[in-house]
Amino acid sequence: MRNMLKEWIEGHITVTIRGKRFERLINLAVREGIHIWNIVRVQEEVGRLDILISDYFRLRPLLRQTGCRAHVERREGLPFWLIRVRNRAGFAIGIFAFLIGLYMLSSVIWKVDVQGTHMISEYEVKQAAEKVGLKRGAFKMNLKEPMVIQREMLTHLPEASWVGVEIEGTRAIVQVVEKEEGVKKPAQGPKNIVARKKAVIHSIFADSGKTMVKVNQFVNKGQVLISGIIGNEEMQRTSMVSAGGKVKGEVWYVSNVSVPLKQTRYIYTGASVNHQYLIAGDYAVHLWPFKAEVYKKAETSERRIQPSLFGITSPLGWKTETIHEMSPQVKSVTRDEATDTARKFAQQDILKRAGKDATIKEEKVLHVKEENGKVTLSIHYAVIEDIAMEQPIVNIPAPDKPDATKSN
């Protein structure tokens, strides 16, 4: 298989061979391990081929042996390109200076845009950005990480609640979210803490109000757990407060999950193609291959080579992008494996439904069924979760006082 990169780096030539024993020459060259390609019979005693420079000197003894003569028609590759560059030093220097200039221009921040400000002036934001090094004319390579810039800018902008920094080419975008004036929460009226769902009380802690239930007591949805009415109701000496506290209960769920016994996964086939790019600043120029096979499913990885000296990265570099072909593979799983996977999915679903800080106390598989290429599980869960919910107390009219006037 030809290695075009090696051919270009080592240099190759197109040679015209004249002689009656052209085929004999080719056979001898192949036997000696000489790399030749593009072999063409031009005339009866004239042929043409491409050969590496290093192999051309090994071909000379075979030319004498077969009585053929060789004439170099075309020279290609890096060695000959370097010779042409040396002969045109001014042109080469000009290209290099242009690439350096292009890289320098693309590595500098030329504009700082501010977005999202209303109360804070753009000038204040730009001043804060300048203090942390983000300003017009700053080199991108010398800038700190965006997260660091954002954190430092917040210290200079007390009126901002959030600052975001994004670099797009030679433009820096600073997005600001201003602080809103605190809205005073209205005074909370009297309320009860009631149950969100049916449960068995696991724990109850009242910050304010009167506890109405005990641990291990079954409660229905909407039942009062912590009352906002405190005092002695018999003596009609009560007051209403905003009840508060935490109540956790044991809640029961049943989850039905199905998992297929045949699962499709993608694996590497071993086939891959390398794309070579020349890096110049922020630009990458695709060099070869000119035509490459397109895979239906593939994964791409890349490797960059950009030398640096004294902390300054060269504007020129090389990038190799490798595209790996992938093909689907159907894998059969056992019933036990499918059951374990189904239980994991069910646990994730139950905890999501139960809410924050919920924990699974007990898990019990009620039923396992295998049909139509799937394993279906029915699982019972006992979950400890927060069941408290606020409920306003509707104003209760004060009871009429008994008439103290006695009838005569």
Does the pLDDT of residue 183 top 60, yes or no?
Answer: no
| Mean pLDDT in residue range 81-86 | 79
Query: Are 169 and 199 in the same domain?
Result: no
Q: Which of 203-217, 302-316, 342-356 has the lowest mean pLDDT?
A: 302-316
In a domain, 12, yes or no: yes
* Residue where a domain terminates, one of 153, 178, 203: 178
Asked if residue 46 lies in contact with residue 17, where contact means CB atoms within 8 angstroms, the answer is yes
| Mean pLDDT in residue range 111-126 | 86
The whole domain housing 148 covers: 111-178
Per-residue pLDDT, 396: 54
Does the pLDDT of residue 218 top 90, yes or no?
Answer: yes
Structure tokens at 282: 């922020």
CATH number, domain of 122, equals 3.10.20.310
CA atoms of 314 and 107, how far apart (whole Å)? 11
Query: Are 173 and 195 in the same domain?
Result: no
Does the pLDDT of residue 132 top 60, yes or no?
Answer: yes
Structure tokens at 293: 């096979």
- Count of structural domains within the chain: 4
Per-residue pLDDT of 221-277, as tens digits, reads 999 999 888 877 665 667 888 888 999 999 999 989 998 988 888 888 888 888 888
Query: Are 78 and 17 in the same domain?
Result: yes
Query: Are 9 and 76 in the same domain?
Result: yes
386 φ/ψ angles, rounded to the nearest 5 degrees? -75, 125
Per-residue pLDDT of 284-307, as tens digits, reads 888 887 777 788 888 898 888 877
In sequence order, what are the beta bridge partners of 330?
A: 264
- Count of alpha carbons within 13 angstroms of residue 181, beta-carbon side: 2
More confident residue, 94 or 297: 297
392 φ/ψ angles, rounded to the nearest 5 degrees? -60, 150
In a domain, 75, yes or no: yes
Query: Are 21 and 69 in the same domain?
Result: yes
**Which string of b and e fits 153-174 if b means at least 16 CB within 10 Å?**
beebbeebeebbbeeeeeebeb
Amino acid found at 388? A
Closest alpha carbon to 15 in 42, 51, 62, 54: 51
In a domain, 43, yes or no: yes
More confident residue, 194 or 3: 194
| Mean pLDDT in residue range 344-348 | 90
| Mean pLDDT in residue range 371-385 | 91
Query: Are 13 and 68 in the same domain?
Result: yes
How much of the chain exceeds pLDDT 70, in percent? 91
In a domain, 89, yes or no: no
262 Ramachandran zone, left/alpha/beta (phi>0; psi -120 to 50)? beta
Does the pLDDT of residue 3 top 80, yes or no?
Answer: no
Query: Are 287 and 324 in the same domain?
Result: yes
Query: Are 166 and 123 in the same domain?
Result: yes
In a domain, 370, yes or no: no
Query: Are 153 and 201 in the same domain?
Result: no
**Distance set, CA 195 to CA 90, 124, 353 (Å):** 85, 51, 16
More confident residue, 176 or 92: 176
The CA angle 129-101-304, to the nearest 5 degrees, is 80
In a domain, 377, yes or no: no
The CA angle 189-193-198, to the nearest 5 degrees, is 150
Closest alpha carbon to 382 in 344, 336, 347, 337: 347
Rg of the chain over Cα atoms, rounded to whole angstroms, equals 40
User: According to the per-residue pLDDT averaged within each range, which of 96-100, 132-136, 229-233, 358-362 is highest?
Assistant: 358-362
Mean pLDDT of the chain: 83
DSSP string spanning 173-217? EEEEEEPPPPPPPPPP--EEEEESS-EEEEEEEEEESEE---TT-
Structure tokens at 319: 């990038």
DSSP string spanning 108-132? B--EEEEES-SSS-HHHHHHHHHHT
Q: Maximum CA pair distance of the chain?
A: 155
Per-residue pLDDT, 385: 93
* Residue where a domain terminates, one of 231, 246, 261: 246
Does the pLDDT of residue 384 top 90, yes or no?
Answer: yes
| Mean pLDDT in residue range 123-137 | 87
In a domain, 170, yes or no: yes
Does the pLDDT of residue 406 top 50, yes or no?
Answer: no
Confidence of residue 310 (pLDDT cuts 50, 70, 90): low
Per-residue pLDDT, 407: 40
Question: Residues, the chain, total?
Answer: 408
Per-residue pLDDT, 408: 38
CATH number, domain of 78, equals 3.30.70.260
Structure tokens at 260: 């297929």
Query: Are 19 and 53 in the same domain?
Result: yes
Residues 6+ apart with CB under 8 A from 235: none
In a domain, 91, yes or no: no
- Count of alpha carbons within 13 angstroms of residue 215, beta-carbon side: 7
